[in-house]
Each structure stands twice: as C-alpha cells, then as structure tokens.
Structure 1
C-alpha cells in the first residue's frame, strides 16, 4: 500500500520539530550516508530518482493539509499549519528544498555522503529533516539490496574469470531473483527487485519490470525469465507418471531454456534414472537446454551431486582453462536456501572440484529482497549545518561519547573523485571544492527533477567499478 500524503509519511515526533530549532534559524542542511562499520565495505547507491518522481513531484493540496492537521491533533501532536500552507500556496504544493546526490549506480566506500538536502525558503528550516523518514526509507532499502546483489556478482564473476571462456556473456544471468513472494508488499517487490536489476538481468519479480520502465527509462525489456515448473505442475501427474510430467515440459518448452524442479520425490533418482535414463535421448534431441533445479537438501553439496550425476549421464568437455563444462543440453540452478556465504562456498567448491562456473546459476528469494535491514549498512540521515538569519553555514555535529561510531559529519559536504582503487572518492568540506569537482550534483530543486539517469547508466557504473576492483 502506498500512502500519498507526504505530510504523514514521517515519524510522529517530526511534526513537533518546527518549534525546536534555535530562533532565527533560516536554513538546515542534512546528509545521508551508509556509516562505516556495516557488513560490507562499500555501498551501491540507488533509489533516489524513483522517490523524487513518485513523491516529490506530486503537489501537496488542501486535502492533504487538512487531513494531516486532523490526524496530528487527534494523535497528540502540534501541527505546522502555517508552514504547510506556505508550501501549498506559495510553492505550488511542492517542497522548496534542494537535493544533491551522487550519480545513482555509484559504488563508494561506507562513510561517503550519498545525498545532501537543504531548504530554500528561510521560513521553513525544519523541512530539510522533516523528510528524513521517507527519504531514508527510499534509499537504504534498494541500496542495501543492490549492494548485496553486487557482492554476489563479485563472487560469481571472479569464479567465471577463472573458469569460463565467456565470463561477460555468462554473468548477467547467474543470480536470479525469486523474492517477490517473500517481501512485505508489492512496492517492496518492485523497489528491491529493481535494485537487483542494477547488477543482473534475471528475475521472476515482474513488478520490477514496470518499475524500471516508469522510473528509470528502461525502454527495452530490462530483465528476462524462462518457463519453469513448480511442484504442483509435477506432482499433479502423480508419482508413477513423474517421467510423463518431465517429458511434457520438454514437449511444451524444449525449443528454449526450460527449468524443471526435480526433487518432488527423489532428486537423484530423477537425475540418474529419469533425466539420465528414460528421457536421456529426448533431452539430447531437444532444441534448447534443460536446467535441473534441486529445491531441497544442502544448498552446496546437493547441486554438486547433481552436477556429478549429469556428467556421468550426459558427459561434457574440458574447456581451454582446464575446467569441466557439461553437455550444453543440461545445466543446474540452485535457488533454495542461498545466501552470500553459501554462494561463496558453492562457487569455491565448484572450482576446487574442477567445474566451470558455466554449469550453474543460483537464485535468491526472501534472502535477497526481505532479509536486509537498515542497520546492515548503518544508514542514517543527520544535520550537518545551519544558517542563522541567512548568514554563513555553521557546522553542527553529533558526537555521542557512548558510541563514537555514530559521530556525524560537520559542515556542508562535497565528494570528489580520486585515483585510488580502494577509496575512489573522498569527502571534503564544500567550501574547499570547486563546484564542477563536487560529485554531489543537484538532482531536485523546488519541485523540479533536475537530472535523469537510466537503468543502463546505473548498470554501466556498477560494471565499471566491479571490473576495477577485480583487476586491482
């Protein structure tokens, strides 16, 4: 469910903050970062453009203000009727703020400012931090999903570079998103599913396709899937007709790639005696490729057992890098129980046992789209400067003695590029940097989206960074 009243898309206590800033405060600056100390060392930034298009280009009208006033009064809060009427009547219902941001798709070290916000109407200094809840939520979730997906890609691409003759051709479809049913809402499926598409082109989360088109200019189909069986379409034939169920899959879809879940009864019997026995000639004669899908058992050892059985039944070749590649008629996908650690173990074991990473793809479900939290990358939005009577920016900073890792940055910020692989950007004071060198560019101002980026541009940025890291 999407709530369209932006005035209520915040934490309750924000409604009282307009009364809490120092007298004569005319501007507040705040920034968003993934703080150092998260589960990864870097973050893939994504999601801001969709938030701006979906929420900040919409007008706040009198019905929104009236509704919010009623809710706040009954909820026990003060309400800034004067401030919201200024926005409604004098700013055409759009927030008079400026948002600067890094280019989406940027992969930067934790601790790098991703977004910086300031109000542009001196009567509304509280507005910069009022949008924290909605803005932070719009950024931390897709950025964390994209970061997780990126690190899976790094693991698999490294394995492909070592064992595949076509790593660049293989990598786009090596991690498939099965997470739509495991998330809390359709909006989460769309947003998280899109974040995955920054790195890969395989998904079963169809909401992500329209999201990519609507908010990131994906004019061509942004991702793909294949016909695939589920347990109901196999078990409905009955155990005695398991081979008939599999044969039907080849009859219906065998001209292309088709995935068949094969553990409804006995996985290894299905692989060795049905696929590799009764239906072997049919598999060899099909025009496309059979992808065998285990859906139970140990997520590392089980797909390896399937690979060994398929090799025994269908054979294969040793490629120019010295790794075994199955007959092109058969492949494997492991989508059950996968997470970053298991994917790493699976591909490490594949290489140790002499298998090319060409032979297998992996999928993730709720672990990709639902298993992430804001604290994974320690996302936060903090005030970093204020103006009094339109004067100079005065740095402000949080420095809790009980947890120094939560210290915030002081003063208006800029981000500049470096030539270092490990630290491709550096954070500096805004007044130390020439405007053209600041990577924090204005993307939204006074209701207008100032810059657009496309899914193809996001993909190009993450791809460039991935290859830089692996080449170092």
Structure 2
C-alpha cells in the first residue's frame, strides 16, 4: 500500500463530512492563522513543499482510489461513510487535479500572530467537502513555520548581543552562529528536511543535510545553503582513552592543519583540556594555524561552564579588547556550545558573556532537539478554520466563539474565537492586518494565489524566502 496515497492522508472522521455539511452547501472557504504562542510573530514557510510534493498535478490516480476504498470500509466497519464517487468525480472531470484555490502570504514573510496566513476554497461546487478534507495535510505547515520562527527569534537575540558587544564588522559571521544539530533527534527524514530547511531560512550553519536537499528540490535554487566544518565526536576523542586524549587532539590538528576544525573536549575534563592540552601543550600549534580551532564543551551547566572556559582561554591565549570594551580571543580560537541549547538558554548565555565583559563573537552554538523537535502545533497555536460558505445560494459568514470556564469557575470569552467572512491581509501603517475582502479596497492583499486547480502559481525561490525573513542589523533592545 502506498504511504503517500492522498486519499488516505486525512483524519478518518473527515470522510463523513460530505454527508454532514448542510444540504445545499456548495462552497467552503477556510483560513490558516497562528493564534498566539511563545512569539509575537510567525515566519510562514513550508507550504510550497506540501503543494509540490502532495497536491500538484495529478494528485491521485484510479489505482489510489481503488486501493483506498476497501481500506476505508475496514476503518469504519460500514459502507455508508466513505463515498468513492466523490473522488471518482475529480478523477473523471479533472483527471485527479484538485479543484481548489489556495492563497498565502509569500513564504518567509513575518506576520504578527492572530492574522491570516493562508486561505483555501473549492472551485467546483460539487467539491465543497474537499476544502477541509485537505486540512490534515496542509496544517502540517505549522512545523516548518514554527522552526523558522524559533530560528529567526534566536537570530534576533544573537544580532542584539553582537550589536552590544562584538567588534564592528563581526556581524558578517552571524549567519554561522546557530548550527543545526537536529537531524538525529527528529521523528523522520521528512521532518529533518522540513525543519532543517526552515532553519536555513535564517542561518547557514547546519549538519542536517536533508534541509539543504529539500530547499534545492522544492524551492528552485541551485545553492546549498547548509554549511558545515570538520568536527570530532566522542567516539574519536575517547578512542585512546583518557591518557591518549592529548594524542587525539594532536591528530586532529595534524589532519586539518588549515581552516576551521571543531573538537569536542569534555570527554574527561574540559577545564584540563583547555588549560593544559590546548592552552599549553598545543598552544603554539593552535596559534600558528591558518584557521580556527573551535573548542566544544558538551556537558555541565552551559553558563557556568562557558564562563570558566573563557576565563581559562583568555589566560592562556590572551585577548584583545574591542572598540566596545569586550574581550575577544585570538582569531585562531573560538568556542561552540552544543549542549543544553534552547531559545531561553541562548539569551542567558549571551547575557552572562556580556555581564562578564566577553564579546558575543567568541561563541557559536549548536542546537538540536530544541530547534527541530521540542515544539508542537501549540508553540505558535496554529489553526485552520472555516470562515465563509455558500449554502443554497446564500453567502454565510461562518465563525465560532466558544464560551469557556476558567479555573475558578467564571464564564469567559474564548481564545479560540475564530474569524468570520472572506479575508485578506493588508498593511495598515506598515503592519500586516487581517480585514474582510470587502474592506480597504484601496489596499492590496499581501496574500497571493499559489495553487489553483492542480497547478502551482507564483512559485518562490529559497533566496526570496530568506530575503523576506531577513533580520536587519540594529535590532531593538530585547
């Protein structure tokens, strides 16, 4: 059985909706939004992948339909739920091309929460049921959008501390400050591709090759955006035991005598490694390299460990004081923190460096699970809801507004109140704002048509996505 049979890529209950919509329904129009969450704005990214991978062209075949019918009859244990004729109609009339229209903000666009990001509607009145049938699949855009959002928020933090403490001109290296270490920690190869490419919207440092592969294949670019460097792991640095750690460090420097090389140095005692091995035994070799040794701690409290490491490295390798008054290691030595790294920890680490007179340019980061896996749909509270319909020839504004009870028994309004009507996103005083299609006729809709009746429209390149999401230098103080 095909795992990507579109007819089987929906929540099971949706197969009954063709009967449950009120008789006479001919149009269902729904919208996607981020209703709130950890961050005040959301980066929209990943829709083009889902459209090209699952919906573009002939989305399903007769073979897919014939395979799905007996399977779904077993799912429900009855033959009056799944109606093969609904899909047969699309095959016979459109050859499997889906009669829907999707509009969306250009990918990479940063939109304040509680605003429309995408709309979808059926273009054939007989396929009103199809709009929200596709919700299950299209809703998964929450994942790359949320990764791109987290990554961008980290970039804002990094940019802020570079502005405050780094040498003028060092901001050119920000693209490589946050490195994606998340491939092994995600739930699937597809997640690695989606999440890894979402990180590349903001940074270029990455060990998740699947992200670069997806960006090239689905976002019309010849570039490989994910860049990496030679680096050790514990299986290398512990190969000769504790007594042989220095020999392994020597071997690392000998193997890559130039360029950047990263070496995990906490296999036994990170402070001894920094003070004796790197800072004394190999000091001359390190400082004479045409390249950078990046020392990696991988255990302990990140803040306290980093402060002690920098204290040792400054004492052993010396430092300069930049024009902002912060210490900077010689250009041949840097540190990468890849353990215990998340958005909040990053702010704590860079603030601790600043408080101790250490420039942000001394430190780069590796982020794994917290970047690609420790998130869910509620991180930014994504939802797709119907807001407009046509029933028996009448326009209907569709909206929910639940009554809720709080923890002490008071009846309150609902966070989950949805929008009603046909929507567009406009810029009011430069700020993206959701209004009805009929409002502000002089203002252009930020959303553009990206998919219609089985065909891609207005494809974007990965370069355009990155440009839309760009974090400008001179960020406001956090």
Q: 1:232 to 1:35 in 2, by over 3 A?
A: same
In structure 2, the partner of 1:450 is: 457
Matched position secondary structure for 2:28? strand
Distance 1:419 1:395 in 2: 27
Distance 1:22 1:370 in 2: 40
Does residue 408 (structure 1) correspond to residue 418 (structure 2)? The answer is yes
Unaligned segments of structure 1, at least 5 residues = none
1:104–1:453 contact (8 Å) kept in structure 2: yes
Distance 2:463 2:320 in 1: 35
Distance 1:103 1:363 in 2: 29
Quote how far apart the aligned CAs of 1:181 are: 0.5
Q: 1:346 to 1:46 in 2, by over 3 A?
A: same
Quote how far apart the aligned CAs of 1:167 are: 4.4
Distance 1:73 1:435 in 2: 51
Quote how far apart the aligned CAs of 1:119 are: 0.1
In structure 2, the partner of 1:65 is: 65
In structure 1, the partner of 2:395 is: 393
Distance 1:351 1:284 in 2: 25
2:208–2:226 contact (8 Å) kept in structure 1: no
Distance 2:350 2:51 in 1: 39
In structure 1, the partner of 2:118 is: 115
Question: Which whole-Å deviations, capped at 9, do the CAs of 1:77-105 have from their partners, x for residues lacking one?
Answer: 61121110111121121111000000110
Question: Which whole-Å deviations, capped at 9, do the CAs of 1:230-253 have from their partners, x for residues lacking one?
Answer: 001111122212111011111111
2:5–2:64 contact (8 Å) kept in structure 1: yes
Quote how far apart the aligned CAs of 1:258 are: 0.4
Distance 1:398 1:174 in 2: 44
Distance 1:159 1:418 in 2: 31
In structure 2, the partner of 1:248 is: 251
In structure 2, the partner of 1:172 is: 175
Distance 2:125 2:170 in 1: 54
Quote how far apart the aligned CAs of 1:468 are: 7.9
The aligned length equals 465
Question: Which whole-Å deviations, capped at 9, do the CAs of 1:246-274 have from their partners, x for residues lacking one?
Answer: 11111111300000000111110000000
Distance 1:103 1:192 in 2: 18
Distance 2:415 2:233 in 1: 47
Matched position secondary structure for 1:290? strand
Q: 1:375 aligns with which of 364, 369, 378?
A: 378
1:26–1:387 contact (8 Å) kept in structure 2: yes
In structure 2, the partner of 1:54 is: 53
Q: 1:470 to 1:216 in 2, by over 3 A?
A: farther
Distance 2:181 2:88 in 1: 45
1:393–1:411 contact (8 Å) kept in structure 2: no
In structure 1, the partner of 2:10 is: 10
Q: 2:470 aligns with which of 433, 439, 463?
A: 463
Question: Which whole-Å deviations, capped at 9, do the CAs of 1:415-439 have from their partners, x for residues lacking one?
Answer: 001334xxx2111001224487011
Quote how far apart the aligned CAs of 1:452 are: 1.1
Does residue 299 (structure 1) correspond to residue 302 (structure 2)? The answer is yes
Quote how far apart the aligned CAs of 1:467 are: 4.8
Distance 2:473 2:97 in 1: 41
1:190–1:207 contact (8 Å) kept in structure 2: yes
RMSD value, Cα? 1.7
1:254–1:290 contact (8 Å) kept in structure 2: no
| 438-447 vs 391-400, which moves further | 391-400
1:351–1:357 contact (8 Å) kept in structure 2: yes
1:190–1:211 contact (8 Å) kept in structure 2: yes
Q: 2:427 aligns with which of 399, 409, 417?
A: 417
Quote how far apart the aligned CAs of 1:412 are: 0.5
State how 1:53-452 maps to structure 2 within 5 Å.
53-59=52-58, 60-76=60-76, 78-137=81-140, 139-164=141-166, 165-389=168-392, 391=393, 393-402=395-404, 404-420=414-430, 424-434=431-441, 437-452=444-459
1:254–1:289 contact (8 Å) kept in structure 2: no
Quote how far apart the aligned CAs of 1:320 are: 1.2
Quote how far apart the aligned CAs of 1:28 are: 0.4
1:161–1:167 contact (8 Å) kept in structure 2: no
Q: 1:123 to 1:309 in 2, by over 3 A?
A: same
